Structure 1
Amino acid sequence: MTTYMPSITIPQAVFLQPAASIALPIALGSAVGYSTRQTKETYMALRQPPLRPPPWIFGPVWTVLYGMMGYAAYRVANIGLSPFSSPDTIRTTRQSMTVYTIQLALNLAWMPLFFGARRPVAATADILALVGVNGYLTYLWSSIDQVAAWCQVPYLAWLGFATYLCAGVGHLNGWDLSDKTVKKEGKQN
């Protein structure tokens, strides 16, 4: 069981405002995506496992998933922190806010690990932790709000697919992406 850790948890006020709760993960995810240079070129230069999607699909998919996770967090906070909620529900809600913050940090760390640092082993460990934390978060949210828990299902499914892609790319490229640089004309060194 997790404890509520206010010092590392997104402020409660963010969760209680629908626009802020939805916009925060979208804005942070977009910022990390834009800050990691040459992501598309690097992605295309790597050996890929079967079923890899085209690079343009990631932006829209992640935007929808970030929006759904923000909406789910808003629902949980509004229901679980209500003055009519039981002390156990309030405690579980606060704990889930800490777990949500941890999963968001893990999520945001993946792209810099994989594309920035070119560390597929660390990125695979990160995404495996992300799947586990989100499974636990879905469990916590299911006791507070079923809609919020169901909002996690597409995210968990995509994380499963992303884990396959991450581990597949790592394996097919010898778990070393350090030599996978991209020249300006788009050719791999």
Structure 2
Amino acid sequence: MSEIASKQQLRLAFLRWAIVTVPLILLLGFVSARIAPAGDDNRWFAMLAKPSVNPPGWVFPWVWTTLYILMGVALAVVIHARGSRLRGAAILVFVVQLALNLIWSPIFFGMHRIGMATLIIAAMLVAAIATTVLFGRIRTLAAWLMVPYLVWISFAGVLCWQIGRLNPDAQGIAPSAGSTQVIDL
């Protein structure tokens, strides 16, 4: 039996994937941000000199929530593209860039490793570009949903590099006792 699915059946199949991918990516992002206090909640970060283009702290949770939602929808679009030969590779590269994304916050805010965090963002950007290109070969919409993420991590990479340049001794800055968690590996 070779029936073709109706448009409504296809939409429902896509929504089933989106109902899984969007909350999963949001949850992973939330967990990563909670491994060590981040942003304004991190006393070490508060002590650092920041470039003039550094956005206020309230911007980051809103931006990341939006980006994780867009990434989850993009992933659902690609997972739903069952006939594509590139689907497996695109999903694998997406997972790699997401893993890099998720380790950035603990490295930067928890371990205070600005140089390493800058390298991770550079690798994340390369992997996100590869993801976007692969997504675009599968579904144009999925690639366009990744564009705000590419813009933001490019900006975040510049911020991270500038913070490192402004604070060459950042790893040695010690906030008051008990005010932040430092992750030592």
* CA shift in 2, pair 1:132/1:70, >3 Å: same
Instruction: Give the total of aligned pairs.
Output: 163
Which secondary structure state, in structure 2, belongs to the residue aligned with residue 17 of structure 1? helix
Q: Cα offset for 1:180?
A: 2.2
1:53-64 mapped onto 2 (5 Å cutoff):
53-64=55-66
Q: Does the 8 A contact of 1:124 with 1:163 survive in 2?
A: yes
Number of the residue aligned with 1:23:
23
Q: Say whether the 8 Å CA contact 1:72–1:151 is kept in structure 2.
A: yes
Structure 2 unaligned blocks of 5 or more: 1-14, 180-185
| Alignment gaps of 5+ in structure 1 | 1-14
Match in the other structure for 1:65? 67
Q: Report what 1:37 is aligned to.
A: 37
Residues 33-81 of structure 1, C-alpha deviation per residue, up to 9 Å, x if partnerless? 12212642332211111210111111111011001001000001102x1
Which protein is bigger by CA-based radius of gyration? 2
**Percentage identity across aligned positions?**
34
Q: 1:131 to 1:38 in 2, by over 3 A?
A: closer
The correspondence for 1:182, drawn from 156, 171, 175, is 175
Distance 1:115 1:92, change over 3 A: same
Amino acid at match of 1:139: V
Matches within 5 A, 1:10-159: 17-37=17-37, 39-40=39-40, 41-79=43-81, 81=82, 85=83, 89=84, 91-159=85-153
Say which is worse superposed, 64-73 or 39-48, in terms of deviation: 39-48
Conserved? CA contact 1:43–1:55, under 8 Å: no
Distance 1:173 1:117 in 2: 15
Deviation per CA, 1:76-114, whole angstroms, max 9, x where unpaired? Answer: 1102x1xxx2xxx2x311101110110110000101111
2:61 is aligned with what amino acid? G
2 CA distance for matches of 1:44 and 1:38? 10
1:141–1:148 CA contact under 8 A, matched in 2: yes
Tell me the SS of whatever aligns to 1:55: coil
Q: Which runs of 4+ in 1 moved over 4 A?
A: none
1:99-144 per-position Cα deviation (integer Å, ceiling 9, x unaligned): 0110110000101111111111110110000000000111001111
Aligned CA RMSD, in angstroms, stands at: 1.9
Alpha-carbon distance between aligned partners in 2 of 1:16 and 1:75, rounded to the nearest angstrom: 11
The 3-state SS of whatever aligns with 1:168 is helix
- TM-score, length basis structure 1: 0.81
